[in-house]
Structure 1
Amino acid sequence: MRFALEALPVPMVYAAHRIIRAVNAEFADLFGYERAELRHQSFNILYPKLADFVMVGDMWRTNFAGGRSYEDERIMQKRDGTKFWCRVRGRSMLAEDPFSEAIYCFDAMARPVPAARTGLTPRQTQIVTLVAMGKTNKDIARETGLSQRTVETHRLRIIRTLGLANSAELVAWFMQQGGQPRQ
Structure 2
Amino acid sequence: MIAALQFALADIPVPMVYATHRIIRDCNAEFAGLFGYRREELVDTSFSRLYPAIADFVRTGDMWRHHLPGGAVYFDERIMAGADGKRFWCRVNGRSRDLSDPFAAALYCFEPMSRPLTQTTLKLTGRQRQILTLVAQGKTSTLIAEEVGLSRRTVEAHRLRLARSVGVANSAELVAWFLSQPSA
TM-score by length of 1: 0.89
Tell me the alpha carbon deviations over residues 89-112 of structure 1, each in whole angstroms, 9 at most, x when there is no partner.
000021111101101011111111
1:5 equivalent in alignment to 2:9? yes
Q: After alignment, is 79-88 or 150-159 more displaced?
A: 150-159
Q: Do the aligned partners of 2:69 and 2:97 also contact (CA within 8 Å) in 1?
A: no
Q: Aligned partner of 2:90: which letter?
A: C
Partner of 2:103: 99
Q: Distance in 2 between matches of 1:159 and 1:12?
A: 35
Stretches of structure 1 lacking an aligned partner (at least 5 in a row): none
Shift of 1:178: 4.5
Q: After alignment, is 15-24 or 110-119 more displaced?
A: 110-119
Q: Do the aligned partners of 2:116 and 2:182 also contact (CA within 8 Å) in 1?
A: yes
Q: Do the aligned partners of 1:63 and 1:142 also contact (CA within 8 Å) in 2?
A: no
Match of 1:150 among 150, 154, 160: 154
1:168-183 aligned at under 5 Å gives the runs: 168-178=172-182
Q: Distance in 2 between matches of 1:48 and 1:65?
A: 26
Q: Do the aligned partners of 1:114 and 1:177 also contact (CA within 8 Å) in 2?
A: yes
1:9-158 aligned at under 5 Å gives the runs: 9-117=13-121, 119-158=123-162
Shift of 1:118: 7.0
CA RMSD of superposed structures (Å): 1.8
Shift of 1:66: 4.3
Shift of 1:32: 1.0
Stretches of structure 2 lacking an aligned partner (at least 5 in a row): none
Q: After alignment, is 145-154 or 79-88 more displaced?
A: 145-154
Tell me the alpha carbon deviations over residues 120-173 of structure 1, each in whole angstroms, 9 at most, x when there is no partner.
211111111211221111221222222222211211222233343222232232
Task: Give the length in aligned residue pairs.
Answer: 179
Shift of 1:82: 1.6
Percent identity of the aligned residues? 61
Q: After alignment, is 33-42 or 163-172 more displaced?
A: 163-172
Q: Distance in 2 between matches of 1:178 and 1:47?
A: 23
Q: Do the aligned partners of 2:69 and 2:98 also contact (CA within 8 Å) in 1?
A: no
Q: Do the aligned partners of 1:93 and 1:103 also contact (CA within 8 Å) in 2?
A: no
Q: After alignment, is 113-122 or 147-156 more displaced?
A: 113-122
Q: Secondary structure, in 3 states, of the residue corresponding to 2:132? A: helix
Pair 1:115–1:153, CA change in 2 (3 A) = closer
Q: Distance in 1 between matches of 2:60 and 2:182?
A: 21
Q: Distance in 2 between matches of 1:61 and 1:146?
A: 15
Q: After alignment, is 62-71 or 29-38 more displaced?
A: 62-71
Q: Do the aligned partners of 1:68 and 1:95 also contact (CA within 8 Å) in 2?
A: no
